[in-house]
Amino acid sequence: MSDGVPLKEHIERLLSERDRQYAQRFDAQEKAVASALAAAKEAVLKAEAASDRRFESVNEFRQTLTDQAATFAPRAEVDLRFASLEKDRDHSAGRGAGLNAMWGYVVGAAGLVVAVVALLK
C-alpha cells in the first residue's frame, strides 16, 4: 500500500472498523426495538384501562335501565286499568244519558198535564 501498511493489516483494520459500526447499529436497533415494545405495552395498558372504564359505564347504564324497568307497571296491569277506566266512563255516559232522558220525560209529562188542564178550563 502507499502508506506503507501491509495489505493484510489494512484489511483487518477495515474489517474491525466495520464490525464496530455494525455493533453500533445493532445496539441502536436493539434500543429502538426495546423502546417501541415499551411504548406498545404502555399503549395496550392505556387501552385496557379505557375499555374497562367504558364497560363500567355500560354496566351502570344497564343497571339504570333494570332499575327503571322495575318501577314501570306491567303492560297487562296498565291494559286492565285502562279497560276499567273505559267501563267507568261508559257507565257514567250511560247514566248521564238516562238522566237526560228522564228529564225529557218529566218536562213532557208536565207539558201534557198543563195542556190537559188548559183544555179542561
Using the structure block, give the residue that is written with the C-alpha cell 195542556.
Answer: 115
**2 has pLDDT over 80:** no
Q: How far apart are CA 68 and CA 62, in angstroms?
A: 10
pLDDT tens digits, residue range 62-103? 999 998 888 888 888 888 888 888 887 877 776 777 777 788
State the distance between the two ends of the chain, measured CA to CA, in whole angstroms.
166
**pLDDT, tens digit, 9 for 90 and up, residues 25-48:** 999 999 999 999 999 999 999 999
Name the pTM for this structure. Answer: 0.43
Distance CA 57, CA 96 (A): 56
What is the tens place of the pLDDT at every residue in 6-22? 999 999 999 999 999 99
pLDDT of amino acid 1: 53
**Amino acid sitting at position 74:** P
Is the Cα torsion angle 9, 15, 19, 24 positive or negative in sign? positive
Q: What does the CA dihedral 53, 59, 63, 69 come to, rounded to 10 degrees?
A: 130
Q: Give the single-character DSSP code of 73.
A: P
